[in-house]
Structure formats: structure tokens, C-alpha cells
Amino acid sequence: MDGRYAASPTGVPGTPGPPAVRRSLSTYARAIARQLPSRLLAHATGSGRHRPAPLGHPERGRGRSWGLGRWIGLVAVALLVAAGLTIGITRLTDEWRPPPGPGPSTCGPQVSALPLRARLAQRLMVGVNPAQPDSARAAVARYGVGGVFIGGNPTAILRGNALGPAHAAGPVPVSVAVDEEGGRVQRIDQLDGSMPSARTMAATMNPEQVHALGAARGRQLSARGVTVDMAPVLDVDGGPEDGAIGDRSFSADPNTAARYAGAFAAGLRDAGVLPVFKHFPGHGRASGDSHDGLVTTPALGELRSDDLVPYRELLGTGTAAVMVGHLNVPGLTNGLPASLSPAAYQLLRSEYGFHGLVMTDDLGAMKAVTDRFDLPDAVLTALRAGADMALWTSTAELSTVLDRLQAAVADGTLPESNVDQATARILAAKGRCAA
């Protein structure tokens, strides 16, 4: 199996034992490394507790026959064994560390060249009508949105070069997104054939085959003008196929889910399509469907050892975006959906070291949000919390949302530094610069 998809050799990466145990093992190994050679040398020279046999004793000659060279060889072997023990224990016990931070940003001049309203518009991804090919161009030309999302079953907007005018309509290239997961969630099956669900992929294919499938699907999407696939699902779920996640999940085992999701994402990247990992920090074991209302996941401590493992494995392994779900996480979000919670974005950015593009799940049609927030409030709250890009699946209230965001910058509610940093990450995800 290709090493790119292999699980950590420790079984469940990032879940070491208690700190005291790790420190004790490492200290013990290093003590062996320090003490063993000197003890052996003391034994060889007679300076330790064991004294050489007296002259004339039968053992005297036998001991001398070892010679200094053999004792030096034995000491060298002991050093190698002790060093190996130290390294092995260190590898087994060290804490998982997040990927390193990004290099110097080159996005500053491009960000500065955009007026404030244009920078704010880059932070919006809106749904367009798939039955009306001009709907994407109109949203980009009129509002300068950073992204458009194509959902539903109609395919007129994905035929021929229907998306070409949208790509040429704005000063900054627009991201065109679909959610092509396979199974019950796919958009080009009527055009390019059906793709199996994630669960079926993992049950019937190996990771290399899933990589190839992702690359082939990515090429088909790219040929139709799509630049972003809101897949793969990283959620860990072994429940009924038709559950909120169900067969959209590769596996109930987090390491298996990580291997297969990583393979599919790598295939999309090979085809020039940006993968989106979702739904952070893990929808698989949530109490229901966030389309129907706010749902609750297991506590953060449980997520770390299960649902968050795929993120720990995959973040930093290649360019990707992350979608944050509308999930209440005990011990983290204090009753808010994660998509609106500063603590959730802080977890992703700081603890998991993710420096790329972060977007919300749909803020306009999922009751986990709409039951408590109107759309302009939801968008502003998400961007203040840490989202780079807010998603909703229509063009409703675009002017109102932009007005609200511009007013929030003017009164200091939304710092302009927040806008600039997020815009830089969006431009970097589009390949315009390096954030």
C-alpha cells in the first residue's frame, strides 16, 4: 500500500499516554544510554563491584582472553542498543505536533489593491441556479463574490462552457464549487456517470484506486469549470447508510477514514481541484442532522481520540480547505454551532495548526443556524469568529450582507486586519499568491 495513505505506526496517532509516563520512559532510556557504557567499562577494568580473579585462578586467564578490543566492541554495541531504545521510546511517546506555519506571505499587494467592499465580497460564496447558466456570471459581475456554489440536480450550468463567462466576470478569479462526494451526493453523475459512495469506495477499493477515481472525477469537474469540490467527508460514522452522514463517511474507523479521504483528496489535487475536508470537528456521531436543528456531538475529549483523528492525519499533507459544521461541541462551543464559535476556529488554527482556507457550512438554509440568526447576523458572526469564507446556497440578501459587513468594519466590530488576513488566504487558495 502506498505510504502516502498509511496510518501512523503507533496505531492511533496523536493519542499518546499520560505525560508522566512519557517522561518516565524517556528519562529511563536516556539513563541507560548514560550509565551502561561506564558500567561495562568498569567491569572490564576491574574498577566496579566485580573484581578480577586472583593470579593463578582458573577464571583469570579466561577473563584476560577477552582483550581490550572485545570490550570496546561490547561497549559500542551497548551504546547502539541504548540509543535505539531512546529513539524508539521517543517516537512512541512524543506528542503529535501540528504542521509548521506558512512561509512569508506574498499576498499583501494584491489584497491592498482591492477596495474594502471587494475584499468583503471575496469572503462570500453563494449558491446559484444550476438551471440558469448566466446566474453565476451575474453574481460575480454585480457583486464580485469570491465563490459560487452549484447544488441541485439540473446540469445546464455545467454543460459546455457555460461557466466560462463567470470565470471572466470579475477582477479576481471566482471559485466554482460543487459537493461531488459520490453516492447520494453528486452533481455530474448525469453528465459523466455515477460515482460510488464513500462507504462503498472503502469497502470495494484500495486507497490507490480511490486516488485514481478522485483524479478522474477531478478532471471531469475541471473540464466543466469547477475549481472546488466540497469533498471528501472526514466524518467518522458506521451508522445507517441513510443517516445524516451514514454512507457519506468512508469508515467508522478514524484511521481508515483518513487513509481513504486522503487518497480521494490527493486525486482531486492532482486534477487541479481544491478538496474541502468536512465537517469539522466531526458530524459522524452527532445527535441528528444540522439541517433540522442544532445537533450535539460527543465531548471534545472524545472527538480528539476519534472524530478529529482524520484531521490530525491529513492537515498539512497537501493543499485543502476545511468546512466547519453547525455542531454544538460540549467543552468547546458553549451551545453555539461550531461554525459561529471562535473556540472552534481556534482549535483548528492553533491546536491542529491549519493555516489554509476555512469556510462555513450553509448559513442560509440549515436550521441549526437559521433558528437563531438571520442571514446577515450569521455571516458577520461567522467571519468574526474566524471563518475566511461564509457560504449560503442562494444569492438572497447579498447587498444586505455586504452593507452589514462594511458597517461592521467601519464601527470596529469586524477588524480590517481580519478582513485582510482572510482575503489573503482566499487568494492563496485560488493560486494567486502564497499566504
Burial of 130 (C-beta count, 10 Å sphere; 0-12/13-18/19+): buried
Please name the fold of domain 108-429: TIM Barrel (3.20.20)
List C-alpha distances in Å: 307 to 237, 251, 258, 271. Answer: 9, 11, 10, 28
* CA neighbor of 361 nearest in space, from 306, 288, 280: 280
List C-alpha distances in Å: 201 to 108, 182, 309. Answer: 42, 9, 20
Beta pairing partners, 389: 359
Tell me the pLDDT tens digit for each residue of 60-107: 444 444 455 554 454 444 444 444 434 343 333 345 566 666 667 899
List C-alpha distances in Å: 311 to 82, 289, 352, 422. Answer: 35, 21, 8, 21
Q: Three cell numbers at 420?
A: 485582510
Q: Is the CB of residue 177 less than 8 Å from the CB of residue 227?
A: yes
What are the boundaries of each domain within the chain?
Answer: 19-93, 108-429
Q: Is the CB of residue 262 less than 8 Å from the CB of residue 211?
A: no
What does the pLDDT read at residue 19?
Answer: 33
Tell me the pLDDT tens digit for each residue of 300-334: 999 999 999 999 999 999 999 999 999 999 999 99
291 given a catalytic annotation:
yes
What does the pLDDT read at residue 317?
Answer: 94
What does the pLDDT read at residue 103?
Answer: 65
Q: Which of 306, 307, 361, 388 is catalytic?
A: 361
What does the pLDDT read at residue 295?
Answer: 94
pTM: 0.79
Q: Which of 43, 167, 289, 291 is catalytic?
A: 291
